[in-house]
């Protein structure tokens, strides 16, 4: 069953087209991440779902009913903001059950729902504290508690972890994901962090300049990016791109500014101007089965301990190689980089669309 359907949605601010013909269908219970660079329209889309922004055209349906004309409180959605938006003068309990008190729910029900949410979030012993006496992670939990007590059909998250330090962010990612599974609700999560999207979501929507560039499962986007933008956005470190031209035989790719060529194992139109996309983790210092090889000179070696990132130069091009462990290569050395032909992504240089 589809929980959220967004059909040809457009949003104009005064003189600015912020959302362009957005189509997204979200099944009940799924965790959807909206990702894209700053200003692409993620927050605007989330706010239109919440009813905090008016739309210019198109429709939004939640559980089959159009909500486009409904105010936020009638949409059965709850939003968790980046700023947490807690009331500073109310303790945790009153922050959490504010919406229920506003709706004048019976007292025993308010108590029970607050208690249940506090238990779920491990906030039971903090109910009497004011927000200023909480850590960042605890405030984040209270903000989620406020959403949970409302028992909404849909949770909307607007970069909820961006104010937390790196370690807590990683911890809260899995907490939010577990919570999502336990509650069985549908979640839409805005982030500019593609790693967060890849690790949390079942379905990722990649946006750029108000347009949905591609949507699908995390591995779908990683394995089959529809265009150069998505290929460069999904994956960390980012995909390497080198400009190539296909030879008269339609088999080999000559690298611009370098004498070497690549054989991607596909038939191509002769003379096609393309980008070859090579993921850092697909480049190997040791031969791979049926692989092709390129010679390059090591310019820099950076190690995190478990991973080593090597910058290798090939003519005017720089390639990042991600190697699990220590590859034992040094700056200035000539290395041979191997890649399996099926891991060579190709994009048209005019349209930037993927070529299969
Ligand atoms: P970020 O990751 O930086 O938060 P975003 O993808 O969430 O970015 P939005 O906040 O949705 O982006 O903004 C999308 C575009 O709409 C931006 O170019 C922004 O300047 C513009 N915009 C947002 N709100 C308004 C407004 N009230 N009036 C005019 N333009 C606006």
| Predicted complex ipTM | 0.96
Query: What phi, psi does 169 have (nearest 5°)?
Result: -60, -45
User: Ligand 1 centroid vs 239 CA: distance in angstroms?
Assistant: 27
CB 130 within 8 A of CB 96: no
Residue 29 CB burial class (10 angstroms; 0-12, 13-18, ≥19): middle
| Residue 18 CB less than 6 A away from ligand 1 | yes
Cα dist. 58→1, 11, 33, 150, 194 in Å?
Answer: 21, 9, 21, 28, 28
**CA quadruple 237, 242, 247, 250: dihedral sign:** positive
> What's residue 168's pLDDT?
81
Strand arrangement, sheet containing 240-246:
261-262, 253-255, 240-246, 273-278, 344-348, 354-355
Name the residue with the closest Cα to ligand 1, atom 28.
13
| Residue 15 CB less than 6 A away from ligand 1 | no
> What's residue 103's pLDDT?
87
| Residue 49 CB less than 6 A away from ligand 1 | no
Q: State which of 19, 40, 46, 56 you would mutate to test the pocket of ligand 1, scoring each by most atoms of that ligand within 8 A of its C-beta.
A: 40
* Element spanning 11, H or E: strand 2-13
Of residues 48, 58, 125, the one with CA closest to residue 93:
125
> What's residue 356's pLDDT?
81
Q: Which two tokens stand for residue 296?
A: 């390059």
CB 26 within 8 A of CB 210: no
pTM for the full model?
0.91
Q: What is the largest CA-CA distance in the chain?
A: 79
Tens-level pLDDT at each residue, the chain (356 residues): 889 999 999 999 998 999 999 999 999 999 999 999 999 999 999 999 999 999 999 999 999 999 999 999 889 899 888 877 889 999 999 999 998 998 899 999 999 999 988 988 888 899 999 999 998 888 988 998 998 898 888 999 999 888 778 888 888 888 889 889 988 889 999 998 999 999 999 999 999 999 999 999 999 999 999 999 999 999 999 999 999 999 998 899 999 999 899 998 899 999 999 999 999 999 999 999 889 999 999 999 999 989 999 999 999 999 999 999 889 999 999 999 999 999 999 999 999 999 98
Neighbour tally for 55: CB within 10 Å:
20
Gap between the Cα atoms of 31 and 51, Å rounded: 20
* Element spanning 320, H or E: strand 317-324
């Amino acid at each position: 069953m589809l929980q959220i359907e967004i059909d040809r949605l457009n949003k104009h601010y005064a003189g600015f087209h912020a959302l362009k013909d957005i189509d997204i269908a979200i099944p009940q219970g799924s965790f959807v991440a909206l990702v894209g660079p700053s200003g692409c329209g993620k927050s605007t889309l989330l706010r239109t779902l919440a009813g905090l922004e008016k739309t210019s055209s198109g429709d939004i349906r939640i559980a089959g009913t159009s909500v486009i004309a409904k105010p936020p409180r009638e949409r059965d959605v709850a939003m968790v903001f980046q700023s947490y938006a807690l009331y500073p003068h109310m303790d945790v309990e009153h922050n959490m059950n504010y919406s229920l008190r506003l709706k004048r729910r019976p007292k025993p029900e308010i108590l029970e729902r607050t208690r249940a949410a506090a238990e779920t979030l491990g906030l039971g012993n903090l109910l009497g504290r004011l927000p200023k006496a909480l850590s960042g992670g605890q405030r984040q939990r209270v903000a989620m508690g406020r959403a949970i007590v409302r028992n909404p059909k849909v949770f909307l998250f607007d970069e909820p972890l961006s104010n937390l330090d790196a370690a807590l962010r990683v911890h809260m990612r899995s907490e939010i994901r577990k919570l999502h599974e336990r509650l069985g609700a549908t979640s839409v999560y805005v982030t500019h962090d593609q790693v967060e999207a890849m690790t949390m979501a079942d379905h990722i929507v990649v946006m750029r300049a108000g347009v949905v560039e591609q949507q699908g499962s995390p591995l779908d986007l990683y394995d089959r990016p529809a265009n150069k933008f998505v290929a460069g956005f999904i994956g960390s470190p980012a995909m390497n791109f080198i400009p190539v031209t296909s030879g008269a035989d339609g088999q080999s790719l000559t690298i611009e500014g370098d004498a070497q060529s690549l054989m991607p194992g596909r038939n191509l139109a002769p003379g096609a101007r393309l980008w070859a996309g090579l993921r850092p983790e697909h480049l190997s210092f040791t031969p791979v089965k049926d692989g092709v090889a390129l010679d390059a000179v090591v310019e820099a070696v950076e190690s995190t301990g478990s991973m080593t990132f090597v910058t290798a130069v090939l003519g005017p091009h720089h390639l990042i190689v991600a190697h699990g462990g220590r590859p034992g290569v040094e700056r200035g050395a000539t290395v041979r980089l191997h890649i399996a032909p099926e891991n060579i992504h190709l994009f048209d240089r005019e349209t930037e669309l993927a070529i299969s």
